[in-house]
Amino acid sequence: MPTTSINVPELNRALRALRIPHGNFKSAFERGKELFHLPDEGMPGSGLIVSGPSGAGKTTLTHALVDYGHKHFGPDSVMRTQLSSGATIKGLLSGLLCAFGDPRPNAGATYDLSRRLLNTINVRGCRLIIIDETQHLVPGGKPSQALIDNILNSLKILDESEVSFVLAGMDTISQLWGADPQIRSRFQTTCYLNVLVYPKDRPTWRGIIKRYLCKMEDFGVTVECADLEDRLYAATKGAMRPLMLTLTSAIVLAAKDNSVVVKTEHLRKATQKQIDKNDGMPNAFDIDLEEITRFSREAHTTRKLAPANRGLGEILSA
């Protein structure tokens, strides 16, 4: 790659590290921060379930909570794990033990792993456990009774600590929350994150783009592209991860041209590389603004409305 006057890897890492609050992200983050403080108030551990479509910011939220815990309570205060297809409760417990540095994380039955995890949590002073991609625990979107029983048994053991939980995943994890009253009592707050919609959230979207551009300017990089915000919205349908991938890819392409200016051509190539037609508009930097606007409005009308945040008290009184 030709050299430029900027540090491309550092800039892209800085863009990836941006945690830009928007919509329900703010309330979910505030609730997540509250969970860290429960032990200091003599309160039992609680929980938060965060659901939403891909690209809405769920993983970004979990990383932001990790950053907060490390900064205010130390590295052992929070543990995050990310599930994959075919995940089980036993595998989840093993993954957490492995993350804590247990030398034999797979040894023992589910009950034994729960007891060892409890001991580790208490010894290390862990306040929050974050489980991302939780939908992999619920194949087909409908939790089995065996899964519910395993979750409840593990929670009963972990209730001997003051640890709280954040579960994040696709919409199907709401089925897990609704499957049993004991699960609902443990995860007392639910939050749905949605991608930004056009044109209602256009001012928020413009603010987010401005934050990214300001960070790029800190590294000496500028962007030259007409109607940038509207084209980026159409390309990504207002989703955070595709936005970050498009911008960072465009920066790499500009650096290959030995340029500190990201131009429309760089954004066009980055979008075609990073965006699938099912998730956005790969040709957003090739067509006129009228077609961009029409696409963005139609994308909005195909989305379901996001449910409001609800606490347990509100739900029980309904």
For 230-242, write each residue's pLDDT tens digit.
999 999 988 888 8
- Residue 313 above 50 pLDDT? no
Q: Indicate the CATH number for domain 24-194.
A: 3.40.50.300
Residue 304's pLDDT is 40
Question: Model-level pTM?
Answer: 0.75
| pLDDT number for residue 48 | 92
Range with the lowest mean pLDDT among 46-60, 83-97, 287-301?
287-301
For residue 300, what pLDDT band results from cuts at 50, 70 and 90?
low
User: Does the pLDDT at position 18 exceed 60?
Assistant: yes
Q: Is the pLDDT of residue 78 over 80?
A: yes
Place 144 in a pLDDT band, splitting at 50, 70 and 90. Answer: confident
Listed residue (195, 135, 145, 143) closest to 167, CA to CA: 135
Q: What is the mean pLDDT of the chain?
A: 86
Could you tell me which residue, 149 or 35, shows the higher pLDDT? 35
Q: What pLDDT shows up at residue 311?
A: 43
Mean pLDDT (whole number) for 109-133: 92
Band (4; pLDDT cuts 50, 70, 90):
low
Rounded mean pLDDT, 16-40: 88
**For the chain, which residues make up each domain, given as ranges?**
8-17+197-301, 24-194
Residue 264 backbone zone (phi > 0: left; psi -120 to 50: alpha; other: beta):
alpha
